[in-house]
Amino acid sequence: MNQLPCSKEAEMAVIGSVLVNPSCFREIDLSADDFYFGDTKATWIAFQELSIEHHDIDYLTVMQKLVGKVDASFLTNTTYITPSSMNWDSYVSIVKDKARRRDYIKLSGDLATSAFDESKDLQDSIPGFVTRMVTNASPDKESKPVSEILSTLYDDIQVRIADPKDIYGLATGIPGLDKIAGGLQKGEVFLLSGEPGLGKSLLAMQIGFSMAKFDHPGVIYEMEMSSHQTLRRTLSVESSVQVSSMKSGRLEDHEQTKINAAIGRLEHLPVYFSDSTQWTTASMRADLVKRKTLNGIEFFIVDYLRLLKDRYGKDDHERLAYIGSSLHDIAKDLNLACLTIHSMNKQGIGGGSGMATLSGSGQISYDVDTIAVMMKDNKNPNLITLLFDKLREGDGDARMITLVKKPGFPAFGELEKSTSQFR
């Protein structure tokens, strides 16, 4: 017989998170019945008893509660295998999901038993089963009093007052962009669009590696180009050695030295990379949950939105709308900043502007939080205008910056209006 849905690793990680960071126990909405294994269930009951008795939760107090029930090495192992106590909410989600699945299996078994028992009226049993079904299907995130939300908002404002900063999101390395949008925001989707050939992928990769240099870990899903194509351009900028020189192999000794030094800097950045063309939003969500749990990622980049392999709806419009909505949910549920690239329709390529120029369903423009469009300068091919068509929480007047291509290298700088130089 197959084992019921469960995850010993997730249950131990929840226990380990509480032992390392006891303050998170009050925020965890789990009951002892949500745990499948005897040692984790007994430990959770011990946590609950200590909390009711107003005693501290630590290794010694918990061990006293578990004498004769759980081996002492178990508690040590929980803290050892827990990747990060700060990610306790991810472990809790896994435990709750497994518990809900076990409840559904038991519910279906009870319903089958009732259906086979012809001595009883099935209609009498249905209301009870419906109630259990609705209870099990209730979302993890329940409604809250507005006072509770305002309280957490007030706490957030006080934290920001104690450490004020202009870039309140993830710094992108583009000063004008950071000033307008405050950086990339966790829980939000930043959509970058524009005509083909303007350098959308280039700008996205530049932003991704800049965020990593500011110690923000992230994942890059590059589905348009190979990993070597993408990283060769990044390496060129980092080393100041032209791409053509690397591809031809005609490198001077000092250039090889620069490349070696640049690789040494880049390989230590907290960036995780995939050039697979087979990603769907579902498989991406699973990968991001794993990376957030193990590596504490804060952002992810998707190049391109259209290249995701989700199969949904009767046409491409519905498929793209579904993908856009799914990316929004991933960013919000996992509290990650998302930067995704999306193509333009014929109106946009023909010189149109605004959110209506996005390829596919107009629903995409509603699901994303920020839309920035790259536009070429007909007089100077080295200049690119980045126009913000949508900024959900922007309250400034500036909605446009001018980027300039770095001569000879695949990178953008920002044009200084006073000097006409890039920075």
Q: What is the pLDDT of residue 419?
A: 38
Span 348-390, pLDDT tens digits: 455 555 556 676 657 788 889 999 999 888 888 889 999 988 8
CA 93/CA 100 separation, integer angstroms: 10
Q: Dihedral angle at the C-alpha atoms of 302, 307, 311, 314, nearest 10 degrees? A: 120
Q: What is the pLDDT of residue 83?
A: 86
Instruction: Please say whether the beta carbons of 20 and 87 come within 8 A.
Output: no
Q: What is the pLDDT of residue 376?
A: 87
Q: What is the pLDDT of residue 420?
A: 40
Instruction: Please say whether the beta carbons of 412 and 405 come within 8 A.
Output: yes
Domain 8-137 and domain 175-422 have a common topology: no
Q: What is the pLDDT of residue 421?
A: 42
Q: What is the pLDDT of residue 94?
A: 95
How is the chain split into domains, by residue range?
8-137, 175-422
* Tens digits of pLDDT across the chain (423 residues): 468 999 999 999 999 999 998 988 888 888 899 999 999 999 999 999 998 888 889 889 999 999 888 887 888 888 888 888 888 989 999 999 999 899 888 888 888 888 888 887 776 666 566 656 655 655 545 666 788 778 888 888 888 888 887 788 999 999 889 888 889 999 999 999 988 889 999 999 999 999 999 999 999 999 999 999 999 999 999 999 999 999 999 999 999 999 999 999 999 999 999 999 999 888 888 889 888 888 999 999 999 899 999 888 788 888 888 899 889 989 998 899 999 999 876 554 555 555 566 766 577 888 899 999 998 888 888 899 999 888 876 555 558 899 998 888 888 988 654 334 434
Percentages (nearest 5) of helix, strand, coil residues in the chain: 50, 15, 35
Q: How far is CA 51 from CA 22, 56, 87, 93, in A?
A: 10, 7, 21, 22
Q: What is the pLDDT of residue 111?
A: 83
CA 69/CA 52 separation, integer angstroms: 20
Strand arrangement, sheet containing 189-194: 271-274, 218-222, 299-303, 337-341, 189-194, 370-376, 383-391, 400-405, 412-416, 421-422
- CATH architecture, domain 175-422: 3-Layer(aba) Sandwich (3.40)
| CATH code of the domain occupying 8-137 | 1.10.860.10
Span 35-61, pLDDT tens digits: 999 999 999 999 999 988 888 898 899
Closest CA to 77 of 95, 59, 98: 59
Phi, then psi, of 416 in degrees rounded to 5: -80, 120
